[in-house]
A and B are shown apart, each in its own frame.
Chain A
């Protein structure tokens, strides 16, 4: 077939080559800094690390404290990363030579971060390594290293209903305090009804702050749900547990609503069953992460005849270590207990930050913590934070930065 490009000149190519060289020659020899705001925002919102120090500590009852963290300018953190209400910070500590991380929801308002302030509210967990350490050592002036704000437990107006029933249990109140502040500040736009489960009046966290917010903002409503029948139940509070009936009582009758949950694992187990009775669309139910999982043998699908102790041979960059651990501990816990630092963020399977290669051996992953990518199964990749060894293992783990 004949083509008819004859009207076009063929010899223009070589001028293009010399023209290209001429364009390079004519350009400035000065190296320009990358100053665009796409990269600027990426760096401001997702700093690799934030170096902070404790400005103040507030006692919230016997076993809970709020720590106000401000930038540690000596370590070159000048300002704090802004965040969407509901996000968490991963705290990095070294306890007796053992690197440990924990994710804590930010309880302060996103707006406060612009003035250089985050608040982490931490409950002392019985037998908890990190919370014990924090209670023993964090005081005004203590330097603390944290991640960028992370997580997906946030209100999303294109996905969530305009009305949200928030279900909090115990210290699971923290992201909701941030959300309530964000609604009050106008940073988030939804109607929030908070059903907050506590044991008794004394164990309610942020009671005064929440009252204050409710007075100021018509989009907020708080209902205390107190489980300890013996104690005085104030008039405005409900007695018992967060049941389907209770949710129905406060949910809009004739329009869609979302349910957000944050609390201990026992609460999820109970409330999830209650929620089933309400027949909500899946899109309207959102959980904050489950937190670090222990005792895999409690799961119905956990195999039998798993040895108590296992050997893990781990390669990180050009170093290989062999350590021994308990099969009841996650791969990540065993490595940390042996002084080996591994990348960690959510410690609940979800974020995938600890993504690693399993070269040999078998692991058990509780179903509800299964957030691996499909190709991870095909190529034997695991999230060590929620993988429990069933045999001796050989793994390749990225270095902790």
Chain B
């Protein structure tokens, strides 16, 4: 009977990186995926003459030609062939004015707004632009980037828990950042409120509001976007996933699609194998798991075999946000539509906590609109373009929806999001829709198999943020031969974070195998 060195459960970004790391190190590796293609969120789908990007907004980890970022670096190391397209702006934040707003003005699109901030790449550029929008914010902005620059150096010690406390004590400001929320941090730096609002636009990428996650975590994210700009793969994220698929196969690894792990086989209190599709058994020495812990403990294990801490962990944490995405194949070019930005964040209020409150409700006026043709001009046929609109919500927003009401509800949500964008940008979208697909939390639940359909894992609150999770990673794992990776782990959501956790989990297995444990 064949016993694999490592069985990886789930070919999401984390599982792909883990399997590639193990296969590349010469371990006999089996990657199991319940769907017919790799990637989880990192995929694509075709409707008519359009191929849509299902989840990726941009990758901060691609870096610039001069300075390769962490994701491109990983692909280079593994030998994954991806054609990167780079982009040199960050975001535009538009806050349409409400009645009675005293600071309202008419922007370049002819819309009455209270904020219209198109933010560039580069710390200096970013700070100057912020100062131009909110005079007196330059110093505090540069101080924040100075902190994050130093913080990144300390990060290099993050993966060595023994070195960590010592190295962090050397950097008291880092400790201060970890210990306080973004809001507290920016207040301490004396950043004006309105500048803070613009500065914190990416809060939604974190899946929890600015008064909940720590300052360090936010700076880590913003820093990576502003420093070198962003990138995306030429052929949607399906290109990235197939590139790693190829690395795994070329290094002797096996990938079985349509092969869902339905049970983990235990022996003597330790996992020794898995059951696939309820019938086939495969055995392995080590396991890396890219599935949601909630699903794993509910579906793959007998209650008696689950370490109590694991249940307590999932019970003490909150599920992060869920997404709603509307994919639009347009029969007009972006110029004809009047779109000039890759990524516009439209918010009902400039304050991130108020945005968070708003998105508790489905029809919140919060929407991010992306136009892929801004970065990849030929991503659709001539004379056309593709847009995707993203909104977020928290909790079981679907709880009152019956199956027979779902289609109408989906259409209503999409219409609301489209109209939010049309008003905020003073453009017309509806008449030019050639293809449309609407993904609500049940869509994500179906493809990602996560509670509430979250792609984001658990909420990264201050007490359970990146740093505490990283420091305690080994202690948090259920068995000494079973390691989680993906959005539920140290760094939360995001392609780069998932790749990082997968590579790390794969690395731990490689090390243990070499040590003969």
Interface residues of A, Cβ cutoff 8 Å to B: 1-5, 7-13, 16-17, 19-20, 23-34, 36-42, 44-46, 81-82, 84, 110-111, 114, 152, 156-159, 187, 281-283, 317-318, 343, 350, 352-355, 357, 371-376, 378-379, 381, 398-401
| Contact (Cβ within 8 A) B298 A353 | no
**Once the chains are docked, how many angstroms separate the CA of A36 from the CA of B294?**
12
Closest to A283 in B: B434
- In the complex, B189 has a CB within 8 A of chain A: yes
Interface 1/0 per residue, B16-51 and A, CB below 8 Å: 000000000000000000001100000011111101
Sample of 6 further A-B pairs with CB below 8 A, known A7-B188, A36-B398, A45-B446: A17-B472, A23-B316, A27-B312, A39-B452, A40-B442, A352-B46
- Known A-B contacts A41-B403, A373-B235; A26 and B316 likewise in contact (beta carbons under 8 Å): yes
Contact of A5 among B189, B236, B246 (CB under 8 A): B189
Per the CB 8 Å criterion, the residue count for chain B at the interface is 99
Interface 1/0 per residue, B440-483 and A, CB below 8 Å: 11111110000111000000001110011001100000000000
Contact of B235 among A10, A39, A157, A375 (CB under 8 A): A375
**Once the chains are docked, how many angstroms separate the CA of A17 from the CA of B316?**
14
| Contact (Cβ within 8 A) B468 A3 | no
| Contact (Cβ within 8 A) A376 B464 | no
| Contact (Cβ within 8 A) A41 B406 | yes
Task: Give every chain A residue within 8 A of B49 (Cβ-Cβ).
Answer: 282
Contact of B442 among A8, A38, A156 (CB under 8 A): A38
| Contact (Cβ within 8 A) B295 A24 | no
Task: Give every chain A residue within 8 A of B514 (Cβ-Cβ).
Answer: none
| Contact (Cβ within 8 A) A38 B398 | yes
**Once the chains are docked, how many angstroms separate the CA of A110 from the CA of B408?**
13
**Once the chains are docked, how many angstroms separate the CA of A23 from the CA of B173?**
26
**Once the chains are docked, how many angstroms separate the CA of A1 from the CA of B331?**
51
**Once the chains are docked, how many angstroms separate the CA of A28 from the CA of B2?**
39
- In the complex, B112 has a CB within 8 A of chain A: no
Contact of A375 among B175, B242, B260, B400 (CB under 8 A): B242
Closest to B187 in A: A7
- Known A-B contacts A19-B463, A110-B404, A373-B46; A4 and B143 likewise in contact (beta carbons under 8 Å): yes
Contact of B236 among A25, A156, A372, A375 (CB under 8 A): A375
- In the complex, B104 has a CB within 8 A of chain A: no
Closest to B471 in A: A17
- In the complex, B399 has a CB within 8 A of chain A: yes
- In the complex, B257 has a CB within 8 A of chain A: yes
**Once the chains are docked, how many angstroms separate the CA of A281 from the CA of B435?**
12
Q: How far is the CB of A386 from chain B (nearest CB, A)?
A: 13
| Contact (Cβ within 8 A) A24 B312 | yes
- In the complex, B131 has a CB within 8 A of chain A: no
Contact of A23 among B37, B45, B399, B463 (CB under 8 A): B463
- In the complex, B357 has a CB within 8 A of chain A: no
Closest to A152 in B: B47
Q: How far is the CB of B360 from chain A (nearest CB, A)?
A: 15
| Contact (Cβ within 8 A) A158 B256 | no
Task: Give every chain B residue within 8 A of A373 (Cβ-Cβ).
Answer: 44-46, 51, 235-236, 238
- Known A-B contacts A16-B468, A375-B236, A378-B239; A10 and B179 likewise in contact (beta carbons under 8 Å): yes
Closest to A377 in B: B235
Q: How far is the CB of B295 from chain A (nearest CB, A)?
A: 7
Q: How far is the CB of A156 from chain B (nearest CB, A)?
A: 6
Closest to A84 in B: B407
- In the complex, B6 has a CB within 8 A of chain A: no
Q: How far is the CB of B168 from chain A (nearest CB, A)?
A: 7
| Residues in B240-258 with C-beta less than 8 Å from chain A | 242-243, 245-246, 249, 254, 256-258
| Contact (Cβ within 8 A) A353 B36 | yes
* Surface stretch bound by A, among B265-273, B301-309, B343-351: B301-309
**Once the chains are docked, how many angstroms separate the CA of A282 from the CA of B383?**
12
- Known A-B contacts A3-B147, A158-B414; A34 and B295 likewise in contact (beta carbons under 8 Å): yes
| Contact (Cβ within 8 A) B36 A41 | no
Task: Give every chain A residue within 8 A of B81 (Cβ-Cβ).
Answer: 378
Task: Give every chain B residue within 8 A of A2 (Cβ-Cβ).
Answer: 143
| Contact (Cβ within 8 A) A42 B442 | yes
**Once the chains are docked, how many angstroms separate the CA of A13 from the CA of B331?**
53
Contact of A41 among B309, B401, B464 (CB under 8 A): B401
| Contact (Cβ within 8 A) B256 A398 | yes
**Once the chains are docked, how many angstroms separate the CA of A294 from the CA of B367?**
46
Closest to B310 in A: A31
**Once the chains are docked, how many angstroms separate the CA of A10 from the CA of B312?**
28
**Once the chains are docked, how many angstroms separate the CA of A253 from the CA of B146?**
65
- In the complex, B159 has a CB within 8 A of chain A: no
What are 14 A-B residue pairs whose CB atoms fall within 8 Å in the complex?
Answer: A5-B147, A16-B462, A20-B464, A24-B309, A31-B303, A36-B398, A38-B444, A81-B403, A282-B434, A318-B2, A343-B36, A374-B51, A381-B242, A399-B259
| Contact (Cβ within 8 A) A3 B47 | no
**Once the chains are docked, how many angstroms separate the CA of A2 from the CA of B190?**
13
**Once the chains are docked, how many angstroms separate the CA of A39 from the CA of B434?**
29
Task: Give every chain B residue within 8 A of A372 (Cβ-Cβ).
Answer: 46
| Contact (Cβ within 8 A) A398 B258 | yes
Q: How far is the CB of A86 from chain B (nearest CB, A)?
A: 11
| Contact (Cβ within 8 A) A37 B396 | yes
